[in-house]
Amino acid sequence: MDKTRCPLCGARLTAAALLDAADSLDDAAPGVVAGRCPHCQGRLELRPAGGRVEVGYLARGAGTTRFDVVLCLSLEGLEASPASDGALEVRAGSRTWRFMPGD
């Protein structure tokens, strides 16, 4: 199975393209961003983490939340950090993305 393809439509994805198509911070605690596949526009949940963007879904229940990863796309130098205003800032090289809660 090709681990660089959208789990919804099968189109080839890159971490930067997913971040470009993301629109808001879904859950600040695990750093999950709400986004879309840039090809099919299907809704995806993303978690930018050190050097990669994880695609998966939030699983909530019994007072706990976890992020189950189904796809992981590398992006050299990617770093994500919370901002003082509640946003999540993501940087990789000269690119910066900023996701606000509920945008």
pLDDT tens sequence across 41-53: 999 999 999 999 9
pTM, entire model: 0.89
Cα 12 from Cα 90, distance rounded (Å): 22
pLDDT in tens, 73-95: 999 999 999 999 999 999 999 99
Ranges of beta strands (E only) in the chain are: 24-27, 32-36, 43-49, 52-61, 64-74, 79-82, 88-92, 95-99
Instruction: Tell me the C-alpha to C-alpha distance, in Å, between residue 29 and each of 18, 66, 81, 96.
Output: 20, 10, 11, 20
pLDDT in tens, 22-67: 999 999 989 999 999 999 999 999 999 999 999 999 988 888 888 9
